[in-house]
Structure 1
Amino acid sequence: MTAPPPGRQPSLVSRPVLFWSGVALTCAGVGQHVWMFVDSASMGFHMAMMGMSGVMWAAMAAIVVGVVVSGFAVTHTADEPAAPPGARTDTPPAHRRRLIGVLSFALLVDQMKPATLAFIQPGMRAEFQLSAAEISWLPTVALSGTVLGSLVGGRSADRIGRRATILIASLLFLGTTVCGAMPTYGGILTMCALMGMAAGGMLPVVYALMTESLPPGRRAAIMVLQAGLTTTGGYMAAAGLAAVLVPLTGWRVLWFAQLPLVLILIAMNRWIPESAAFTAQRARPGHVPASALFRRPQTARTLVVGGYALAWGLVYWGFITFLPSQLEASAEGGMSAATLLFLSSLLSIPTCVVAAWLYMRWSAKGTMVVYAALTVVALLVLAAVGPDGGRVVLLTAVILLFAGTAGVIALIGPYTAEIFPPAIRGTAGGWAAAVGKSGGAFGPPLIALVLSAPGGLRTAALLVAVPMAVAGVAVALRGDDPSPAGLASAGTAGPDEAVPATRSG
């Protein structure tokens, strides 16, 4: 196989006609759903219980066939032989800024999906006449999809490639935009589960590709900033679309409004190269199984990042989910849910900038310990004063809590990608993302149970502070430091160390 000349990217797929034919077929099916949504304007864009017509079933079939065809064309690329020794496989400097921009856009689209759930629930509940218990299935199903998607997507990145996995997630994004035209609540739950799988599958893969495409040095700071700012940007973009479009055409339009963004992402696929690390790893005989995460020398790393992610999930999906309602119920708090959401978004920006600077200039694991400690301190303050504490104290505690959790989520993805070797980097990123998202499955019911017991908010704050404190201590004692200074002091070879492969066949 001849290496491409400098300045020119290799073809994304070996069967481009098949790939774009599948995309066109998927777009045709999605377009038919968009037309049905537009046609429902006379009914106030209410499509509940309209039933699945023959045309809608045919459009759904076109989407499924289109995604499968395009997905086959993408995965077939991974069967091509790896570049021979000596061939140029690094990312040319002129392409790095473009790659950062494209992958940041991919993360922005990825983060908009779960953020949109908060803005569609009121309209959906009214249209389908759902109870509070019934509507609670929406985030549960969607987040469960992200857990499965993270595990599958992370493993897929190590088997078929980072680039192929990102494209498959984008194809699923394209197909599941028809969630906005589903006439039944069951259909919406199904689409949200698939959409969650796509969102969960893309997140860890982007960090793996960034780690392997950018040179050491400023790479860590770029990735931390990218993680934090795209999370904030995704929420703000979803909020902005909701503010403008929902009053005009209802909640369903929020899914279709993201269709152009997904198409742009797919169109930019030519600027997403495969990583040199994956290409080199694929040239070796056999493969490294997922179980390598729990074998030496990876066991401690896996448990440390898993515990850190789980602690964040319990705080974010469990405790913070109920915090607005708890404070609004207090006469002293005086803070609305809107105020808290605004603070969480606003404070993510300076928090991520500081986290990136500390991560690059000081210590990676030290920065993670600092933000874990900041979160614990905020929770302990809330546990001490409760919802009836003074307004200034409560506001300060909430600011610290949002700052700490924003830093934790900005750090965990890039940190995981940097400390694991290329052979299982995607699998490890998927593991960390899945464990963090799993907090959305059991965190809310657990915290709801605690809030109904004596102590309420105080007990809940203390409960989630414990695992976060344990996670911070684990990082301090057993965590790796991927910064050059940390690796030098530890006397290690860094995250590109070899992992024994299991010979297949």
Structure 2
Amino acid sequence: MFLTGGSMHYHLAGMPMEPDMVFGMVLIVGGVLVAAWGLLPNNIPAQRAASQDILIAAPEDAQLGAVHWTLMTVLVLALVIDVMKPASLGFVVPELSREYGVPKATGSLLSFFALVGTVCGSVVWGILADIYGRKATILLSAVFFVGTAICGTMPSLAWNVFMCFMMGAAAGGMLPVTYALLAEMMPTRHRGWSLVLVGGLGAAGGYFAASGAAALLQPTYTWRILWLLNLPTGLLLVLLGAFIPESAKFLLARGRPEEAAAVMKRFGAVARKVATPQPAPLRSHGALSGMHLVGKLTALSVAAISWGLINFGLLLWLPGALQDSGYSIAVSSRLLAKSALIALPTVFLCALIYSRWSTKWSLVTMLGVTLAGLLLVLRLEVAGEGSPVIPVALLIVGSNGVIAVLLPYTAESFPLRVRGRATGWVAACTKAGGVVAQALSITALVPPMALVAGFLVGPVVVGTLLISWFGRETKGGDLRRLDAEDAAAVTVPV
């Protein structure tokens, strides 16, 4: 259907839904359900009970090997494929709105429902990862990606909105699952920088892939090609699954000790019965209770909401704003692609300063870079002239750095009793900012870019100051020591 529309410049709006397309959609839904059922393990309660006292831990002094680097490379590619889906919405909405003859506010329903889908997906995929396993969850999300490629031929806007929600649901849980898999497979002393590096490269690479595809393909094949790319990229993710190991702890929990032993041997991990941990004689983080805990959570939440407003609001609005300013689709896409390319090398710097310099101040630094980008965008809009390359590049550098550092730092900053809830809350705040931004798009209340940039300066400054005050340095600390101090702080003598 897409190929036959070439003579009409792939303008398919208003064409009838053919029976074979409806049948294909039914097959997609049925195929996903069958795949999910086939991956479901048997006898989950008994297997889970049998593994409650098993702990998988990598040796503190394990050396990085080829398997670790291969895993990081594959997960970076997986995140690139994952991130480019929602990142492409900024290039899709303006042209899609013109084809369907609707205002941009209506076209922004795609971005809104995609973001709502990521909120749902973050919860659902986290649960599925504990049932199906890390690897199986990644592969199942790839199947969803392949299914959403049919949006590239949808003649109906309503069906595009629905499939956009499904795409967001598929993408929502990839980053948390990736963090979980890396944390369980990487040597302890390499865990921090590897999480930052993989997350940062995946975010920067995903935006670069989306903007590059828009610059190269969209002028010829219209916005629809960005949806159709879900097919080859989803299949590529399935093929990359051959290089993704399953978590050893999950394999033990599912009664597959031989496979778990093979994985542990490859990655240098060991299995042991859980015993009462003795705090290691390392530098303490300090007990987190009372105002320190509430203040830190508030600081990280403000930073997360600010990031969501920038990433899912300002950066998605920029392509349309540049086109309104006289830039063509090709020029604006090429500009953003170059800006994303500039941002890529800074991910390595971000991982370096996080692991070698300071975890706390690396986050503050990335917020500072984001603030500089906002101020330059504000200056550019007020002056009405100048090149947008540096302002956009700083925004992309800062936002990539913030999201690369924010969740690892959150996980390392809270004691065990609140670590999961705190990390989940901060992750939800990143998407909450995006929901607010897209609600403005739907209601046609998006203010000029100068006003947007000026407004966002406030929460970024507040988040930076709060983290500077309440944040604690986690570099070189032992999380078990943090848990022990927290237990001592909250224990009331009888």
- Asked if TM exceeds 0.5, the reply is yes
**Counterpart contact for 1:225–1:410, Cα < 8 Å:** yes
Q: Percent identity?
A: 37
Name the amino acid aligned to 2:189. G
Query: In the alignment, does 2:97 pair up with 1:125?
Result: yes
- Cα offset, 1:326, TM superposition: 6.9
**Counterpart contact for 1:308–1:468, Cα < 8 Å:** yes
Query: In the alignment, does 2:12 pair up with 1:47?
Result: yes
CA distance in 1, matches of 2:334, 2:313: 19
Secondary structure class of the residue paired with 1:253: helix
Cα 1:49–1:431 change in 2 (3 A) is farther
- Cα offset, 1:464, TM superposition: 1.6
Name the amino acid aligned to 1:46. H
**Counterpart contact for 2:340–2:393, Cα < 8 Å:** no
The alignment's TM-score, normalised by the length of structure 2, stands at 0.75
Q: Residues 275-424 of structure 1 correspond to what in structure 2 (within 5 A)?
A: 275-276=247-248, 303-321=298-316, 337=332, 341-342=336-337, 344-379=339-374, 387-388=382-383, 391=386, 400-419=394-413
Q: Residues 219-298 of structure 1 correspond to what in structure 2 (within 5 A)?
A: 219-276=191-248
The one of 464, 471, 475 equivalent to 2:467 is 475
- Cα offset, 1:387, TM superposition: 1.6
**Counterpart contact for 1:208–1:425, Cα < 8 Å:** no
The alignment of Structure 1 onto Structure 2 pairs a total of residues equal to 443
CA distance in 1, matches of 2:213, 2:323: 26
- Cα offset, 1:362, TM superposition: 1.3
The alignment's TM-score, normalised by the length of structure 1, stands at 0.73
- Cα offset, 1:184, TM superposition: 0.6
Cα 1:425–1:201 change in 2 (3 A) is farther
- Cα offset, 1:63, TM superposition: 1.1
Name the amino acid aligned to 2:459. P
Any unmatched runs of 5+ in structure 2? 256-272, 275-288, 488-494
Secondary structure class of the residue paired with 2:363: helix
Q: Residues 114-153 of structure 1 correspond to what in structure 2 (within 5 A)?
A: 114-153=86-125
CA distance in 1, matches of 2:143, 2:485: 31
Q: Residues 180-219 of structure 1 correspond to what in structure 2 (within 5 A)?
A: 180-219=152-191
The one of 55, 59, 70 equivalent to 2:24 is 59
The one of 442, 447, 450 equivalent to 2:436 is 442
Any unmatched runs of 5+ in structure 1? 1-35, 286-293, 498-505
Query: In the alignment, does 2:2 pair up with 1:37?
Result: yes
- Cα offset, 1:423, TM superposition: 9.7
Cα 1:247–1:328 change in 2 (3 A) is closer
Cα 1:239–1:467 change in 2 (3 A) is closer
Name the amino acid aligned to 1:265. L
- Cα offset, 1:247, TM superposition: 4.2
- Cα offset, 1:97, TM superposition: 2.3
* Cα offsets for 1:434-472 (capped at 9, x unmatched): 3213322212565985846xxx82x54443222222222
Query: In the alignment, does 2:109 pair up with 1:109?
Result: no
1:81 matched residue in structure 2: 47
**Counterpart contact for 1:281–1:423, Cα < 8 Å:** no
Cα 1:149–1:126 change in 2 (3 A) is same
- Cα offset, 1:325, TM superposition: 7.1
Secondary structure class of the residue paired with 2:205: helix
Name the amino acid aligned to 2:475. S
Cα 1:382–1:186 change in 2 (3 A) is closer
Q: CA RMSD in A?
A: 4.2
- Cα offset, 1:159, TM superposition: 5.2
- Cα offset, 1:93, TM superposition: 4.5
Name the amino acid aligned to 1:483. K
